[in-house]
Structure 1
Amino acid sequence: MHFDERNEGDYRIYAGALEAKGGYVAAVVVSRLRGVQNAPREAFRDTAMSGGHRWNSPFEALSYAVKQAQEIIRKEPQKLGC
C-alpha cells in the first residue's frame, strides 16, 4: 500500500494506491476538518475509484485519487454532505 495525505481548505484528503492483480487501485477518503463540532468527520469515501481501474504505478493511482478528491471538494460539495 502507498499513501498520501494533504489538506485542501477545510478538508483532509487521504489517498491510497492499493496493490491489486494487474496494478494498483486508487482509493480516497475525504474528512472535513473545520466547521465540525468536536472532531473531524468523514465526508466522502471511494475505495475502488474509476470502477476499480488498475494503474501501472502507485504514483499514477495516488495522483488520480488526489485530483478527483480535489475536484469533488471544489465543484461537488453535495457529495460531501455539506
Structure 2
Amino acid sequence: MHFEEIDAGDYRIYAGAIERPRSFGYVAAVVVMRVKGGSLPRQEAFRDENLAGGYGWASPADALRFAINAGRDVVMCGGRAA
C-alpha cells in the first residue's frame, strides 16, 4: 500500500493506493478526519476504501492523486466524493 496525508484547513486527508491482486492496478482509498474546530479532538468526516467503484489505476501515483482530490472535494463541498 502506498500512503500520503495532507492537511486541508480543519481536516487531514489520508489517501491510499492499494495494489489489487493479479495486476489489475491500484484502488484509491481516502479517509478525511476533522482535526480542529470540532467538539471532539478528532472525528472521521468521510471514508471510502473503494473510490470510483474500485477502478484500477495504472500507478500508485494516479490512485493517490485521485484519492487526494476526492478528499479535497469532501472538505470543500461537505458532501460525498466521486
TM over 0.5: yes
1:68 Cα deviation after fit? 1.1
1:73 Cα deviation after fit? 1.0
Size of the alignment, in residue pairs?
Answer: 78
TM-score (norm 2): 0.89
Residue of structure 2 equivalent to 1:55: 57
1:16 and 2:16 aligned: yes
Partners of 1:20 and 1:5 in 2: how far apart? 21
Q: List gaps (5 residues or longer) in structure 2.
A: none
Q: 4+ residue stretches of structure 1 with deviation over 2 A?
A: none
Give the 5 Å matches for 1:1-82: 1-21=1-21, 22-75=24-77, 77-79=78-80
Give the RMSD, CA atoms, in angstroms: 1.1
Deviations 1:6-63 (A, max 9, x none): 0000100000000003100000000001112342111100000000000010000000
TM-score (norm 1): 0.89
Q: Closer, same or farther in 2 for the Cα pair 1:43/1:54, shift >3 Å? A: same
1:71 Cα deviation after fit? 1.4
In the alignment, is the contact (CA less than 8 A) between 2:3 and 2:15 conserved in 1?
yes
**Percent pairwise identity:** 47
